[in-house]
Structure 1
């Protein structure tokens, strides 16, 4: 599946690990030395908590494991680069990257959902990764190697490596989501690929701006959440949002099947807008007083209406909580979540977009308060259920991705893969790449969910097409 321009030169190939063909050539990965692992295991406990997203990730991993389910957790991708990989230089570059970022020094001891203890390596130089040569692998052997990446309860839940082909090599990264968000792309490209290419060309290392402390971010996030009470404006808004939805989070409008049965996960890509359609769509968003993101969530709201007849739409979307230049250079999970709701005008994309944008802007401060804190203060609300979903918007023309994306994708045959395990919930990403817009959906791999996701994709694509043409009027409501 392809996101973007439709060719390897201007696009990203996506799929699940079972579709990831390593091709011919020997595989080398970088893994910690026994001494490095031993030092990590002895790392002292520190007072910095996990971020709210890290805590949720670990809790979900444990919960899925206890229910006999294999939790989707790995973020994977690759780039191609010409020539033969200089293993010694790559070893230096990989270790420099891992030592530079504080998140890689941490591992977490799970006691219970309220007690997740961070241990932190005190000396970055105790991180020592060395090459491990695996030889040429078949696709099943490659898949098994990828899926053997340690769990988020182990320190070394990340791997980097290369596949050496005849005239080029493929650099790949496999990182547990515990340690990353979309800024991973910038970090890997600038600090590993670009730095490696500079060194093998006989040039000095790439000059890098300083990083921030992810642990300090986690402390600030926890302190702010702990300062909230049931009377805090942010909590009142979160509670009102959930209570208006029956005490629940947003739910996907079509059935997703029995997710207590192990089925793994899959992905689907739906092209939404061509560059020409994107330009017209953005003009209409601006004319309505909304941004592009408000317009795309309006399309989601209208699609939801067409499937259900519900005129109130409630959604959640993640947002990057980085604020300083140093944080934008820092690996880690800096994400918060914004709730928004709007009244759908079945006959007007413009009015729906305006309503969505106003709600989003009004609620942006709520991203600073994790929903788990809301549940602590308002225990009558429900945890997210099996129909829960979230929609993300990723514009690679905006920071932190914009600085590298054009260079990174040109002729690099870039890929991004999912581990094919069971997702925590249905997750959708609207991705704008070189002004082509696509919808990537990660869903439970069962026939009911696949049929529902296929149908949803058809409806939302139709809404985007009509909105971009400036001729949106609602059809008769589809029966569910």
Structure 2
């Protein structure tokens, strides 16, 4: 799976054909938006995620339209929408998928932003770039309906549906939202101590990236993206093994290296951040599309010894995962609510795409995860582990200061990770 952004996506010429589900007005639902959805809807930004993969061309339009209708039938979140309020609406399975006149690929950026708004239904774009030899299936969804894991699910579902498979029913993310809304946290729950210890009194102020990015609180800039392959396939395997020998997962090892790199660039000796953690603990949600994540705080020490740093990071991540068993939305009332200074949150994500459904086919079908481009006021990091190695995508403000800072940090991080792989070869 290649993870990139809309401004880096340059498909071969072709005609984009859209499939539009026929949908009448939705019925109001008693299920409120999830915490993530509510924050997203309040932000008002145009944030979407796209799934892209190739099939032999020319495409069979009838089969692909049927596959898209089956995808909507299978996943309840695609039959829901939001009206201002926000109010959740529920929609029936579409009776018809309309095929719209094709448009040149050059029209895609505007079409993506138009179709994938947070409000209205459908808040997604379903289609294909048709060509005689290789057709490119492209579908994008407002972030309220999908997370990174969901993009791999979409690709696998559509690949199988297009080939004629019948998929079994799966859980409905709206049901998950209903369950989350009923959760309550007792004031004396011992897990709250960890949250209070991290944030202190006065509400939850998310950590901010500690190096200068050239934007003050309250300011934003156009986003820029740094894409870097940090370790090739063999190097990533050595890094994984080195972490295992220390009793750590590779994510913890990567966080330890990031804390070291940030400190080497003039940052603090302890790196405070949040990371997204999935909430697909019940088997019902394993194959369901939705935003099944919560955010968890962690503090990683920047120790000079790589082995000690990785062990400490592993301990910190395990403790943070325990905190994540309390959903953030249920925790906030006990901590005084959110106290935001910036629109973005300094976060570090890790996805091992090799473990997700359909991973064995990703290279053969050119699977890609593409994110929208917008404005930024903080740094956000996404590690991607694939058979090709360990890659990193960093979203940050497009300022001269941020560009220099992120480039230097990424160099330091790549050097730290490579150094750890050499430690394994000497043991």
TM-score normalized by the length of structure 2: 0.91
The corresponding residue for 2:118 is: 152
Give a deviation string over 1:79-130, Cα, whole Å, max 9, x none. 121121121221111111112111012112332xxxx321212x3245x431
**Residues in 2 aligned to 1:387 and 1:330: alpha-carbon distance in whole angstroms:** 27
The corresponding residue for 2:19 is: 30
**Residues in 2 aligned to 1:157 and 1:445: alpha-carbon distance in whole angstroms:** 28
The corresponding residue for 2:189 is: 232
Aligned-pair RMSD on alpha carbons? 2.6
The corresponding residue for 2:48 is: 74
Kept in 1: contact 2:213–2:378 (CA 8 A): no
**Residues in 1 aligned to 2:13 and 2:290: alpha-carbon distance in whole angstroms:** 33
TM superposition shift of 1:317: 1.1
CA gap of 1:286–1:148, structure 2 versus 1, over 3 A, is same
The corresponding residue for 1:429 is: 382
2:62 to 57, 78, 88: 88
**Residues in 2 aligned to 1:241 and 1:193: alpha-carbon distance in whole angstroms:** 43
1:462 to 412, 415, 419: 415
Kept in 2: contact 1:342–1:359 (CA 8 A): yes
TM superposition shift of 1:425: 4.5
Kept in 1: contact 2:151–2:369 (CA 8 A): no
TM superposition shift of 1:15: 4.2
TM superposition shift of 1:19: 4.1
The corresponding residue for 2:311 is: 354
**Residues in 2 aligned to 1:74 and 1:53: alpha-carbon distance in whole angstroms:** 14
TM superposition shift of 1:245: 12
TM-score normalized by the length of structure 1: 0.81
1:334 matches 2:292: yes
Give a deviation string over 1:244-265, Cα, whole Å, max 9, x none. 9996322212222337556432
Q: How many corresponding residue pairs?
A: 424
1:120 matches 2:65: no
**Residues in 2 aligned to 1:177 and 1:423: alpha-carbon distance in whole angstroms:** 16
The corresponding residue for 2:362 is: 408
The corresponding residue for 1:274 is: 232
Runs (5+) with no aligned partner, structure 1: 1-10, 62-70, 199-204, 472-480
Runs (5+) with no aligned partner, structure 2: none
The corresponding residue for 1:475 is: none
Residues 166-315 of structure 1 aligned to structure 2 (within 5 Å): 166-196=132-162, 198=163, 205-224=164-183, 227-243=184-200, 248-258=205-215, 260=218, 263-308=221-266, 310-315=268-273
CA gap of 1:294–1:244, structure 2 versus 1, over 3 A, is farther
The corresponding residue for 1:134 is: 102
The corresponding residue for 2:370 is: 417
CA gap of 1:418–1:363, structure 2 versus 1, over 3 A, is closer
1:394 matches 2:351: yes
**Residues in 2 aligned to 1:206 and 1:82: alpha-carbon distance in whole angstroms:** 17
Kept in 2: contact 1:26–1:133 (CA 8 A): no
